[in-house]
Structure 1
C-alpha cells in the first residue's frame, strides 16, 4: 500500500508542476505576446512622451501644429478623477474611454498641456483563452492519471476474473499482471493464494475420486464375508451388516456432498414447471411414508432452474420432514409478487431459533446421539443450501402451525 500511495503522490505532484509551468509558458506566448493595438499604442505613447519632454517650448508648439495624430489641450479643461489627476501629475500614461468604448491614451507635457493619442480599439478579452488553457490543463492531468491507473485497473480486473473462477470451481487459472502496477506485490500474493487454493481444490477432487474407488472395495469384501458368516451367528452378523450399510450410506453422502463443490460447472439451467417437479417427489414419498401427507400445489409455476438438482432439494426437504415429523407433513406451492414459494412443514419437535442457521452446515444435527431411528449424517440440508446458492436463493427455517419445523424457499417466476 505504501508503494501505491507514493506512486500516486509522485504522479500527481509531478503532473501539477509540469502542467502549471506549461500553462504559464502558453499564456506568455499566446496571450501576452498576441497582437494588441492598445498595447502597441501604449508603447508609442511612451516614446512620444519621452521625445516631447526633450523639446523646447517653441519646438513643442511647432510640433503640435504639424502633427495631426495628436490632440493637445490644457488639463484644466477636463474634470479628472482624483486618481487620474494624480497619475498625470506623476508623469504616467493613463487610459480613458470615449462614448463608443474606444480607448484614449493621455499624458502631460510641460506640466500644462495634456496630449491625447487615439482613439484605439479596446483590448480583446482573454477570458476565452483563459478557460481554454484551464480545460486543456485539466484534461492533460486526467490523461496522466488514466495512464497511471491503467495497470492498476488491469490487475483488478484480473483479480476479479480469478476470484470468479475459484468461486465457480474452475481450476484453470492463468494469472497475468503488469509489473508497472502500483499493487504489483499485492496481486502477486493474491495470485499465489489463488493458485494454492486451486491446488487444494484439485487435491480434494482427487481425494473424492480415490475414496469412491478405494473404500467401496473393502466394504464389498466385508459384506461378502458377513454373508458367509450369517449361518453361524445370524443375529450378530445382522447387526454387523447394519453397521456396514450405515458406513456405506455415509460414504455415499460424503461423496455426494464433495461432488457438489464441482457440480455447479455442469448446471443445466432451463425453464421448468416447479409444480411438476414437486408433485413427482411427493408421489415418491407417498409410496414409502406412513404419515399423512397434505398438499396444496398451484399448477403451472414456470421457473428457471436445473431440474435434476432442484428435484434433489425438494426430495431432501420432504425426506427431512418425513424423518422428524410425527404423523403429518404439509407441502404448499404458491405464488406471491412474481415469486414461487415452496413450503414444507411437519409436526415434529421443530428447530430452536438459535440453531436454525446451524442445520445447513455439513454434518450438523440437532440429535447428537445420531440414533438409527432418525438416521442421517447431517448432510441433507447442507446439500439443499449448496444447490440453492447456485440458483441465487436460500432456504429459510421457521416455526410451523403444525408445531414442528417450516422450510421455505422462493424462486423468481419467468414470463410465459
Structure 2
C-alpha cells in the first residue's frame, strides 16, 4: 500500500503534529502493561515460585494445630528462611502474610508488620481471589493470594518481596514531566527540522528568483513550481508574472520600432521636400528652421529606439564585469577630450570590485553624465568612485551654471528642458538623463542630482556590487 504524498504546507504540519501525538498516546496506553504499580497478573515464573513457597509452608507446618504458633514460628524461623529457594539475603528482603477468606490479616502478637497498610490496599484492589495478582508498593512487590491450608483451616497466602529492579524508561518519563517533555522534543525536533528545511528550500528559490528580477534578469525558473502546493502555486504565479513582464517589454520595443518606422518615412519625405525648396528658392530662415527641427526629431526617434533596445538587452544579456574594464578607458578618453577644449577632468582610483550588468548600458550611462559635465562645466570636472559596503558610489561634479534646486528632480524626466542657460543652447533632445536614470534603475541602483561644491551640478550614482567570493 502506498500512502499519498503530502504536498500541502498545512498538511505536513498537521501530519507531524498528529504523529507526535500518536507516539505520546501509544506510550500512555502501553504504560499500564509496563507499570508494576498497577494491579496485573502474576507472570508464570513468579507464579510457580509463589506456589512453591506455599507448598513448602504447608509441608513444614502440616502437623501443627495452632495457627498463632504457626505464624509466630514462621516469622521467627531463620532456618526456614534459609531453606527457601527464593531467599534474597536477609530477613528484610521479604514478608509473608496469612489472611482469612475475607482478607483479614492473621498476626502474631510478638511481631510487627512493616507493610500492613500496603497489604490492605492490595487486598481491596483484588476483585477475584481465585486469580493471583501482583502490584508494586514502593520498594516491595506484593503477590497473591493463593489458597493455603494451615492448622486444619483454609487461608490465603500473600508474599511481599523487596523489588530491586530500576523503574522502566516509560515509568521514569511519566513520573518526571520534564523528562517527558525532553523525550517529546527529541522525537519531534528532527521532524520539525526536516519540515523547516523542506519549507526553506522553495522559499530560498523564490527569494533568489525575486533578487534576479530586482537586478533586471527576467528569467523563468521551473524549480519554483516544485515543493508544497502553497509554494508551487506562488512559484507558478511568479513565473507567469515574469513571462508577462517579458512580453510587455517585447511589445513595447515592437511598438517603438513600428512608430519609428512610420515616423521616419514622412520625415525622410519632409527632408527631401525641404532640400528641393532650398534649390528652387535658395536658403531662408524658415527652411533652415524646418531642417533643424527635422534633424532634432530624427535624433529623438533614434534615442528612443536606443533606449528601448538597451532596456531589452539589459534584461537578457547580463554578465559579471570588473569596474575597471567598464569605465577606466572611458574616463581616460573623456579626460583627453576635456583637455582638448581647455578643461580639466580628474578621476579617482576605480575600486577593484565587480558587478552584474549589461556593460554597454552602464558605460553609456556614465559617458552621458561625464560628457554633459564637460560640455556645461567652465573649467573643472571631478569624477570620484568609492566603495561603500556592497555598493559603488560614483560622483560627477562640474563648475558650470548648475540647475535650479526646484528642477533637480525633474531633469530625469523624458524630454525635460532646464529653464536656465545650462540647456538653452544645447540642442539636445532632453532624453540623455532619462536614459541614464533608466539604465541605473534597471541595475537596481539609484541616481540623484544636487548642487556641487564646485558650484555646478552634482550627479551621484549608487550601484550594488557583486558579493565577494
Q: TM-score, normalised by structure 2?
A: 0.62
- The unaligned stretches of length 5 or more in structure 1 are 1-6, 98-102
Other-structure match for 2:163:
120
Other-structure match for 2:301:
251
| CA offset digits 1:333-380 (Å, max 9, x no partner) | 46577967543223314341x654443344444439997624333321
Other-structure match for 1:331:
382
Other-structure match for 2:129:
none
Other-structure match for 1:220:
268
Other-structure match for 1:260:
310
Q: How does 1:230-249 map to 2 (within 5 A)?
A: 230-231=278-279, 232-235=281-284, 236-249=286-299
Alpha carbons 2:32, 2:38 under 8 Å: kept: no
Cα deviation for residue 90 of structure 1 reads 4.8
- The unaligned stretches of length 5 or more in structure 2 are 1-7, 59-64, 87-93, 97-106, 124-134, 151-156, 174-179
Question: Matched residue of 1:215: which SS?
Answer: helix
CA distance in 2 between partners of 1:28 and 1:145 (Å) = 28
| CA offset digits 1:155-207 (Å, max 9, x no partner) | 98469648836963557787974697136666565554443333222211222
Other-structure match for 2:332:
279
Flag the 1:183–1:322 CA change in 2: closer, same or farther, 3 A: same
Question: Matched residue of 1:230: which SS?
Answer: helix
CA distance in 1 between partners of 2:297 and 2:425 (Å) = 16
Other-structure match for 2:67:
58
Other-structure match for 1:382:
434
- Greater CA radius of gyration, 1 or 2? 2
Cα deviation for residue 240 of structure 1 reads 0.4
Cα deviation for residue 400 of structure 1 reads 1.5
Cα deviation for residue 251 of structure 1 reads 0.8
Alpha carbons 2:373, 2:397 under 8 Å: kept: yes
Flag the 1:76–1:204 CA change in 2: closer, same or farther, 3 A: farther
CA distance in 1 between partners of 2:348 and 2:121 (Å) = 102
Q: How does 1:286-305 map to 2 (within 5 A)?
A: 286-287=339-340, 293-298=343-348, 302=352, 304=354
Other-structure match for 1:318:
370
CA distance in 2 between partners of 1:20 and 1:387 (Å) = 57
Alpha carbons 1:37, 1:121 under 8 Å: kept: no
Other-structure match for 2:277:
229
Cα deviation for residue 243 of structure 1 reads 0.7
Number of aligned residue pairs: 387
Flag the 1:233–1:393 CA change in 2: closer, same or farther, 3 A: same
Other-structure match for 1:344:
397
Flag the 1:60–1:95 CA change in 2: closer, same or farther, 3 A: farther
Flag the 1:61–1:414 CA change in 2: closer, same or farther, 3 A: closer
Q: TM-score, normalised by structure 1?
A: 0.68
Question: Matched residue of 2:165: which SS?
Answer: coil
Cα deviation for residue 208 of structure 1 reads 3.3
Other-structure match for 1:95:
137
Q: How does 1:72-91 map to 2 (within 5 A)?
A: 72=96, 86-88=117-119, 90=121
Other-structure match for 2:62:
none
Alpha carbons 1:346, 1:400 under 8 Å: kept: yes
CA distance in 2 between partners of 1:163 and 1:192 (Å) = 16
Flag the 1:310–1:95 CA change in 2: closer, same or farther, 3 A: closer
Question: Matched residue of 1:295: which SS?
Answer: strand
Question: Matched residue of 1:182: which SS?
Answer: helix
Other-structure match for 1:3:
none
Other-structure match for 2:22:
21
RMSD: 5.2
